[in-house]
Amino acid sequence: MSLRRRTVSTVLIALVAAGLVRGAAAADRSTTHPAVELLDAQGRPVLGSGAPVSPRTTCGACHDTSFVAAHGYHVAAGADERTAPGGVSDGRPFDVSPGPFGRWDPAAYRRLSLDDDERFDLGVADWVRTHPRHVGGGPAEQTAAGRPLAQGGTRTETDALDPATGRPVRWDWAASGTAEPDCFLCHLATPDAAARAATLARGAFRWAATATLSRTGLVEPDDAGGWRFVRGRFDPDGTAPSARLPLRNPTSGACGACHFEATDDRTALGAAGPWSPRDPRGAGQVFSSQRLRDSGFNLRDRETLDVAFDVHAARLVGCADCHGSPSDPARPASGRAAAPRHLVVDARRPSVGEHLRAPSHDFGKGVSSRGHAARAHDGTMRGCAECHDVASSHGRWLPHAVRHLDALACEACHVPRVAMPAVETTDWTVPSPDGRPALAWRGVEGRVDDPASLVVGYEPVLLPHAGADGRTRLVPHHLATTWYWVAGPTARPVRAFDLVAAVSDGAGGWHPDVRAALDSDHDGAVSAAEQRLDTPAKADALARRLVAVGVPSPRIEGAVDPTAIHHGVVDGAHAVASCEACHADGSRVARPFEVSDRVPAGAVARLSPDAAVALPGAMAPDGRGRLVYAPEPAQAGRWVLGRDRPVLVDRVGALALVATVLGVLGHGAARWVASRRRKEAP
Amino acid sequence: MTPRVLALLLGLVGLAASAFVAVVVPATAHETSDAPRERLPRFPEPTDHAAYFTRPFADGPAVTRTCLTCHPDAAREVKGTAHWTWQGGHGVRSDTGEAVAFGKRNVLNNFCIAVPSNWPRCTSCHAGYGWEDASFDPAQAADDRVDCLVCHDGSGQYAKDPQGAGRPDRGVDLLAAARSVGRSSRATCGTCHFKGGGGDAVKHGDLDETMRFPPDRVDVHMGRHGLRCADCHRAEGHRIRGRLMPTDADGTRVRCEDCHAAAPHGDERIDLHLRAVACTTCHVPTFAAETPTKMWWDWSKAGRDGDPEAVAHAIVADTVAGGAEGRLVPPAVLALFRRVGTDPDVSTHYDKKKGLFLLAREQVPEYRWYDGTSSRHLPGERFDGDGPVPLNPPHGRVGDPAARIVPFKVHRGVQPFDAELRHLLVPHTFGPGGYWSAFDWERALVDGAKASGIAYSGHSTWRSTEMVWPQNHMVRPKTEALRCTDCHGDGGRLDWAALGYPGDPAVRGGRVAAGLLDVATRPGATR
């Protein structure tokens, strides 16, 4: 047996012995992972070479990192499903993948350029710099043809945007290196995501994983923009002590570094300031065991909010307990996806050693309401009914339980409100001169960044959505609208560089023409309230400016994007349990939902093409200039007892009543007449 | 309607009613029902004694004699209780095998240490008058030495002289007190029990003056629901239920289940915890909710002159720096020392007579298995072990199905120890020649040995000790109780390994699932 294989075996056995095979995230936060030697990309100890840490070789000493990268949709980000422009099912004509790499996201706005784009917006290097939530690897390492990025490729892969000229320039991949899949980002107890993001933004991609280690004390920034290793903090044999490099199964907090607001931190949420979610598109969802009243947020009726942000988190269920690795022997995957129809669950599981050597990172997922990346893994997560005996717990009190469970997702009642604010409108039609969109938040009275503003949360809208079992049920959703300029025959969004060129004066201020159009109160400034195109004159002024910077025939479009609400679950005591909540006038099922706080002049918003929900009902501006969606369950074939009143039944009933009364009166009259006649008869 | 049809209908109605009674009513009765108010004792309306007494009383015994004219058995009953005898425990010395009767009158603690030689100060909390010295024999004392007023006063002005061997304070209006008597109250019980250890909040951690009128967040029973001590510590013939750390299970424990249902939460998972977790573990998340309690009493630092704050500061600084001052400081206390100056809930106090104190409020208890019984370090008992001397270690193991995890305040201290005979010593502190006036440890230990009967070799040293106090009061409402993540998961407050679990029972299973119970007690075991 070679030394390397012996080492691998020893470490795997040590891992097993150390209990790292434990499945549940709640308990598996130990730091019993053996100490590791940090290696560079060539497999040399970094203490000797001084080169960046390579997770691929460091972790690859025991784990099959190539397998992990190939079986992890967080790595691929949709790049493994790349198509020609327009080839994405339910995508836009210029989308090249169903995932974050290649699918245009109106809220994030910037768009990966196509090779034939006249106006270059985002090369691969720009995408890596501006998407620190990507874990690395995949498109951050390789071209679409599977070659290293440094070996050249298409223009999108070789070039980056010159922010001064707006033109593409060659990106020096040899100098920047590439961003490897960063195991430390999720598996280190103390990752420094901010340092990694800053390193990526600086274009020092090969140092990104090293930057993630900055909180361990093993590394510190050097004067040349890189990082150096602090020898005195390593063990004498050159390994990084596990006390400094605590590696473990990912916790909910690790997932929360990117996904909305998931945390297992015991520090009160909001203690550091007002609501500022790491993922603004998380629709205000929070996955935390903390009670709302213990948070630092200025919540309405806070003292009465004894409920936890999420009851699952409060009961020690972590992200990975439902969204676990399908190869984890401690977490049998969802029976539906993993087994043929005749089996409840496929009992054949990889051994602990097999899993540790090559753990699948295609984590269990549901069926997204937006975007279609990694659809092969739809329905692989652990659903509610796989833990809860829903029928028995609801059958005792809920009338027509089967019908309710057939029509409603569990979240429809168990997420009655979303506690925190969510971005309702992202308006790119008039970005600020430094390129930021105007944002409007729901669920807060006042500015979201003001700690004194009252946080009230919001009630999500119930939309039909097909789940993993193929059944369409009502699922709580958030709807957010993005307004933006498009141009050209394929209605490509106007690139951010041109937008800024149109609204700014080149010195950080508003362009005079834009200021003159927007400054309604003539105070010489454009306030937040004025930063919107609510009249045709203002829209025309911006359109003229866009034409002036070279954008042909600009026009405004709106995209409504749904976000399904699956987190922020409350227990039965706090769930919707009143019949009148749905089966009466003002039913939750048909309650109007404000989709945008504004409608730019002449613009129309539509549901994004990749949305996997329907909007039965009408979406139209109201009298106050807001875009409101009014659900109509009947259009989706749903009859809501107590709310819906079909006219025909009402009329038949009225006719029956009248006929009965007339019949009784007629019969009575006839008998009265007959009796008179009998009396008068001789 | 014919009589036959009427009879048939009545029969059907009767059949339906019988079915309802047979099926529905039992099902309802089995549902969890927690109606604690219905299980509270019903007390008769107290008799107004105001009209019975018109002339002033000369002293406390005079009041008692008057009481006994109508309540002739009362003194005899009281004199049979631990409130009077200050004795009631039975133990066996580990060194000699000798059976020892003990009680407050002769045991050692790590606060003021012991009663012998310090009687008038200590016995100011005795439910009687005149326990001046060793010559007082509770069994032989006259009936009129029983102090009725200390428990039954309703005037609010009755108080004992803190150095008067149980006698009333000079300013007390005995007539007013006698005219006011009635049921005991939080105030009367608190007169002694809130001030155990020599002052408010010193000893217990869960009993202090805030319990007279506690807000909901401090104690839901006495705050929100207005309960008195006697509602739970029910008495019969002046024998009051409830002993703090009994050495035997005498059946007098006060239990939450006396009022609450066995499964009161309406949540199966929480109710399952009750197999292993005391109610107080979750419902007393912290002790000393308002007033700081003593956590550390270091007698070895007594006798230093100078500004008390400066002395305390110097000791703390040296201890935190790892100096000689902290030689006997255990890790749990060192953690508190490190919080001094940065955590407003932790503070120090220096008294030349008594040494250095650490006080803290809003403290997280320490958790141990407890089956309701304990051992007691007996007077003169030899201790050859390492580490702190455990003065009243609770009994209980993870394998014992009768034991549950219980929250404790652990009071740690440093006190005199005989270096040759290896037992704790009793210092004479209060009174003429005592340490508090002479500041002579040798003399204090010699005098204390004479008074207590505990031998002293003449070679003393200092020894750290620890004493546990179960936290049964300051019970918080459910909204303030611990939640899952307070104990389970990363950073939980329970040390599962120390409690004997292989890991967090939330994921490794409880002691039944993990096979931790003693074999003979496991479900299905053959006995």
Whether B411 and B498 map to the same domain: the answer is no
Query: How far is the CA of B306 from the CAs of B181, B350, B355, B460, in angstroms?
Result: 47, 10, 13, 25
| Residue A530 placed within a domain | no
At A505, the pLDDT band (50, 70, 90 cuts) reads very high
> In Å, how far is B171's CA from the nearest CA of chain A?
46
Query: Residues 4 to 33 of A: which have CB under 8 A from any B CB?
Result: 19, 22-24, 26-29
Residue B389 phi, psi (nearest 5): -80, 120
Contact across the interface for B485 and A27, Cβ inside 8 Å = no
Q: Which residue in chain A is spatially nearest to B489 when comparing CA positions?
A: A26
Q: Domain check: are B396 and B500 in the same one? A: no
- Residues of chain B with a CB closer than 8 angstroms to some CB in chain A: 269, 479, 483-485, 488-491, 503-504, 506-508
Tell me how far apart the alpha carbons of residues A98 and A76 are, in angstroms, rounded to a whole number.
11
Q: Which domain holds residue B492?
A: 485-521
* Helix-helix angle A496-503:A536-548, to 10 degrees: 110
Can you tell me whether residue B409 is helix, strand or coil? strand
Neighbours of A636 (CB within 10 A): 16
Rounded to an integer, what distance in angstroms lies between the CA atom of residue B217 and that of residue B113? 33
Q: Judge: B269–A266 Cβ closer than 8 Å, yes or no.
A: no
Low-confidence ranges of chain B (pLDDT < 70): 1-33, 521-527
Greatest mean pLDDT among A131-145, A247-261, A270-284, B19-33 = A131-145
Q: Which range has the worst mean pLDDT, A128-137, A247-256, B218-227?
A: A247-256
C-beta atoms of A308 and B490 within 8 A: no
CA-to-CA dists, residue A496 to A114, A429, A486, angstroms: 15, 11, 11
Domains contained in chain A, number: 2
Q: Judge: B504–A27 Cβ closer than 8 Å, yes or no.
A: yes
Residue A3 pLDDT exceeds 70 = no
d(CA A500, CA A431): 7
The Cβ of residue B518 has, within 10 Å, a number of other Cβ atoms equal to 13
Residue A521 lies in a domain: no
Contact criterion met (CB below 8 Å) for A492 and A484: no
Q: What is the pLDDT of residue A25?
A: 37
φ and ψ of A312, to 5 deg: -65, -45
B191 and B302 belong to one structural domain:
no
Interface contact A27-B506, CB threshold 8 A: yes
- How many whole angstroms separate alpha carbon A256 and alpha carbon A185? 11
> Chain B: nearest CA to A39, how far in angstroms?
30
Last residue of a domain, one of B164, B181, B196: B196
Residues B463, B497 within the same domain: no
Distance in angstroms (rounded) separating the CA atoms of residues A256 and A279: 9
Cα separation, A333 vs A350, whole angstroms: 11
B-chain residues within 8 Å CB-CB of A29?
A: 489-490
Among partner residues A28, A266, A316, which is closest to B488 by beta-carbon distance? A316
Q: What is the pLDDT, as a whole number, of residue B297?
A: 98
The pLDDT mean for chain A works out to: 90
Distance from CA of B356 to the nearest CA of A (A): 33
Q: Supply the pLDDT for residue A29.
A: 44
Least confident among A7-11, A163-167, A483-487 = A7-11
> Do B342 and B297 sit in the same domain of this protein?
yes
How confident is residue A86, by pLDDT bands cut at 50, 70 and 90? confident
pLDDT of residue B24: 47
| pLDDT for res A682 | 66
Tell me the chain B residues in contact with residue A313 when contact means C-beta distances shorter than 8 Å.
Answer: 485
Question: What is the per-residue pLDDT across A394-407, written as a single tens digit (0 to 9) for each?
Answer: 988 999 999 999 99
Cβ–Cβ under 8 Å, residues A455 and A296: no
- The burial of B251, by beta-carbon neighbours within 10 Å (0-12 exposed, 13-18 middle, 19 or more buried), is given as exposed
DSSP string, B422-489: -SB-----SSTTSHHHH--HHHHHHHHHHHH-----S-EEEEEEEEEEE--SSPPPGGGS--HHHHSS
- Determine the residue of chain B that is closest to A288 in CA distance: B485
Give the DSSP letter of residue B222.
Answer: I
| A308: chain B residues, CB-CB within 8 Å | 483
Q: Is residue A103 part of a domain?
A: yes
Please judge whether A29 and B503 are an interchain contact, meaning their C-beta atoms are less than 8 angstroms apart.
no
Same-domain status, B400 and B459: yes
B483 contacts in A (CB within 8 Å)? 289, 291, 308, 314
- State whether B297 and B148 are in the same domain: no
- Looking at the domain assignment, is residue B275 inside a domain? no
Nearest CA-CA distance, residue B369 and chain A, Å: 22
Q: Is A52 exposed, middle or buried (0-12, 13-18, 19+ CB in 10 A)?
A: buried
Return the pLDDT at B525. Answer: 56
Which residue, A249, A321, A251, A252, is CA-closest to A288? A252
Taking an 8 Å cut-off on Cβ atoms, the answer to whether A316 and B483 are in contact is: no
Distances (CA, A) of B200 to B47, B86, B190, B205: 31, 21, 9, 10
Query: Quick one: pLDDT band at residue A18, thresholds 50, 70, 90?
Result: very low
Domain range holding A160?
Answer: 35-233
Residue B250 lies in a domain: no
User: In angstroms, what CA-CA distances link B174 with A101, A152, A330, B71, B185?
Assistant: 88, 102, 73, 18, 18
pLDDT of residue B118: 95
Is the CB of B490 less than 8 angstroms away from the CB of A26?
A: yes
Contact at CB, A316 and B507, closer than 8 angstroms:
yes
CB distance A27–B484 less than 8 Å? Answer: no
The answer to whether residues B306 and B418 belong to one domain is: yes
Q: How many CA atoms lie within 13 A of B426 on its CB side?
A: 26
Query: Which residue in chain B is spatially nearest to A30 when comparing CA positions?
Result: B490
Give the H or E element holding residue B67.
helix B60-70
A 277-306 residues with CB < 8 A to B: 289, 291, 306
pLDDT tens per residue across span A631-641: 999 998 888 99
Give the closest of B479, B485, B503 to A27, CB-based. Answer: B503
| Separation of alpha carbons B426 and B113, rounded Å | 7
Window from A379-383, A429-433, A677-681, B53-57 with minimum mean pLDDT: A677-681
Cβ–Cβ < 8 Å for B395, B269: no
Name the phi and psi angles at B366, rounded to 5. Answer: -100, 145
Chain A residues close to B507, C-beta within 8 Å:
22-24, 26-28, 316
Length of chain B: 527
Domain presence at residue A559 = no
Shortest CA gap A288–chain B (Å)? 10
% of chain A exceeding 70 in pLDDT: 94
| Domain identity same for B313 and B433 | yes
Q: Do B485 and A19 touch (CB under 8 A)?
A: no
Are B439 and B349 members of one domain?
yes
Gap between the Cα atoms of A598 and A560, Å rounded = 13
Residue B390 CA to residue B295 CA, distance in Å, equals 15
Could you please report the per-residue DSSP string of B8-23? HHHHHHHHHHHHHHHH
* Chain B residues near residue A28 by CB distance under 8 angstroms: 507
Which residue has 């389970």 as its token pair? B488
pLDDT score of B412: 98
**H, E, C per residue of A579-623:** HHHCCCCCCHHHCCEEEECCCCCCCCEEECCCECECCCEEEEECC
Who's near A89: CB < 8 A, 6+ residues apart?
A98, A372
pLDDT confidence of residue A280: 79
From the list B257, B254, B285, B287, the residue with the least C-alpha distance to B271 is B257
B253 assigned to some structural domain: no
Contact assignment for B489 to A306 by CB distance below 8 Å: no
Q: What percent of chain A has pLDDT over 90?
A: 76
Q: Which residue, of A233, A253, A278, is where some domain finishes?
A: A233
CB contact under 8 A, B484 and A306: no
Q: Looking at the 3D structure of chain B, how many domains does it have? A: 3
Instruction: Identify whether the C-beta of residue A585 lies closer than 8 Å to the C-beta of residue A609.
Output: no
Which chain B residues have a beta carbon less than 8 Å from that of A19?
503
Which of B483, B490, B507 has its CB closest to that of A22?
A: B507
pLDDT of residue A200: 97
Contact, A104 vs A126, CB < 8 A?
no
Q: Cβ contact (<8 Å) for B491 and A314? A: no
Of the candidates B484, B491, B506, the beta carbon closest to that of A266 is on B491
CB contact under 8 A, A24 and B507: yes
Distances (CA, A) of A668 to A159, A389, A661, A664, A673: 95, 59, 10, 6, 9
State residue B506 phi and psi, 5-degree precision: -60, -30
**Closest-CA residue in chain B for A26?**
B489
In a domain, B304, yes or no: yes
> Of A233, A249, A284, which closes a domain?
A233
Q: How does strand A617-621 pair with strand A555-564? A: unpaired
Q: Which two tokens stand for residue A525?
A: 């400034």
| Residue located via tokens 């006390």 | A243
Helix/strand/coil (H/E/C) assignment for every residue in A429-464: CCCCCCCCCEEEEECEECCCCCCCCEECCECCEEEE
Neighbouring residues of B7: CB distance < 8 A, sequence distance ≥ 6? none
Instruction: Give B491→chain A minimum CA distance, Å.
Output: 8
Tell me, what's the pLDDT at A338?
55
Report whether A424 contacts A480 (CB < 8 A): yes
Residue A370 DSSP code: B
Q: What is the pLDDT of residues A189-232, one digit of tens each?
A: 889 999 999 999 999 999 999 999 999 999 999 988 889 999 99
Q: Which one of B485, B486, B493, B496 would you mutate to disrupt binding with A, by most A Cβ within 10 Å of its Cβ?
A: B485
Q: Tell me the per-residue pLDDT of A602-653, one tens digit each, with 9 for 90 and over.
A: 999 999 999 999 999 999 999 999 999 999 999 988 889 999 887 888 899 9
Residue of B nearest to A267 (CA): B491
pLDDT of residue B26: 44
Considering the domain architecture, whether residues B169 and B306 belong to the same structural domain is answered as no
Asked, for residue B216, whether it belongs to a domain, the answer is no
pLDDT confidence of residue A527: 94
Last residue of a domain, one of A233, A264, A294: A233
Taking one residue from A and the other from B, the number of pairs with CB-CB distance under 8 angstroms is 45
Q: Is A574 touching B (CB cutoff 8 A)?
A: no
Which residue is associated with the tokens 């009965």? A660
Say yes or no to pLDDT of A20 above 70. no
pLDDT digits (tens, 9 = 90+) for A328-357: 988 766 555 556 777 777 777 889 999 999
Is A102 within a domain?
Answer: yes
Same domain, B429 and B517: no
Inform me whether the pLDDT recorded for A12 exceeds 50.
Answer: no
Element (H, E) at A401: helix A401-407
Do A26 and B506 make contact, defined as CB atoms within 8 angstroms?
A: yes
Closest CA in chain B for residue A248: B490
Q: Which of A315, A319, A397, A570 is the best mutation test for B, with the most CBs of B within 10 A?
A: A315
The string of pLDDT tens digits covering residues B146-201 is: 999 999 999 999 999 999 999 999 999 999 999 999 999 999 999 999 999 989 99
Contact predicate A340/A304, CB 8 Å: no
Q: Looking at CA atoms only, how far is residue B377 from chain A in angstroms?
A: 38
CB-CB contact of A182 with A208 (8 Å): yes
The angle that helices B308-320 and B331-339 make with each other, rounded to 10 degrees, is 120
